[in-house]
Chain A
Amino acid sequence: MNENPANNFEDELRRRLRPVNAPEGFTERLMAALPARQKPVVVPFTPRAARPSSARQFGVPAALAASLMMAVFLGIQWGVHREQLEEQKGLAASQELMQALRVTSQKLDLAYEAVNNPPIAGDEENRS
């Protein structure tokens, strides 16, 4: 005989866990004890608009603001550049003007000298 206590325990476990047929009417009683099956609630599916990500939510206004700032900055830069160009042009024009007046002055000086200096005898000059 098997005197080993471990074997006894196994035998005991096997005996206790042996398949046993359910008593008569068990299934009916069990089903009767269960609550009545509820009708499934049908919830209509309405797909909600996908919530924009924060990058999308703030990206467009940020881009617009950046464009606006860029436009303002470029406008200012262009204005400064234009002002500088005008200044250069004006300075060049003022130098040209003074040069023109000097040439005019020299030539009028020549005329003045010729008109006011008495003709030397023998010099063929016509003054009027």
Chain B
Amino acid sequence: MNARIGFVIAALILSGPAWAAPKGQLQIPEFAALAEKANESVTVTLDANLLGMAARFLSNADPEQAKAKKLVSSLTGIYVRNYSFDSDYAYPRGDIEGVRRQLNAPGWSRIVGVVSKKENSNVEVFILVDGEKAQGLAIIASEPREFTIVNIVGNIALEQLNDLEGNIGVPDLELETPKKPPPAKPAAQAKPAASGKTPVP
């Protein structure tokens, strides 16, 4: 009897990751207080259930929605926090740093990092790659009066990500897939590194 109980407990412990947050999902604060202070705010929290529900209501007739439907079919979550303010740095930069720190975890790679000291803006794009597929995408963009955190979670084939680029207004970042050679395109001036973190001085 005791052995059975022990076995059940061991099974529960071993299956721990089953109820843990999906791989690629960041712990993003709700920023509830900021929504009141912000000039404009976009807060989107779509888990796998809501994404499935949303996908059912996307029309195949609308090309934009059809592409979005195809894209979200393999996703398990989309989380967006976007706030604009009337004054500079009205948002807690510590919270953003907290999110950025989570992207130091193994597996996450920064593919784009732009820091403009002139405009005090910062845009970083991170991707969590596991084998051929991206398990997550994160964007942290901050300006004095605006900040955005985007976290897309799920099995995103890089080809699919390329499909997203330039279709819903998303530009082609010329992401490289590990196996396939990059498409023949004119060389970009600053091609983002798809592997490893690129430190920004």
Contact = CB atoms under 8 A, between A and B. Distances in A.
Interface of A: 86-87, 89-91, 93-94, 96-118, 123-128
Nearest to B198: A128
13 contacts: A93-B53, A94-B58, A94-B65, A97-B68, A97-B78, A98-B64, A98-B68, A99-B42, A102-B169, A110-B114, A114-B116, A128-B190, A128-B198
Given A97-B78, A104-B170, A123-B116, 10 more contacts: A93-B46, A94-B54, A98-B58, A101-B164, A104-B80, A107-B123, A107-B139, A110-B114, A125-B115, A128-B110
Contacts, number: 145
Nearest to B71: A101
Contacts of A125: 114-118
B148 A107 contact: yes
Contacts of A113: 171
B27 to A, nearest CB: 18
Interface of A, helix, strand, loop or mixed by DSSP: helix
Interface string B154-193: 0000000000110011111100000000000000111111
B134 interface: no
A116 B189 contact: yes
Contacts of B192: 115, 128
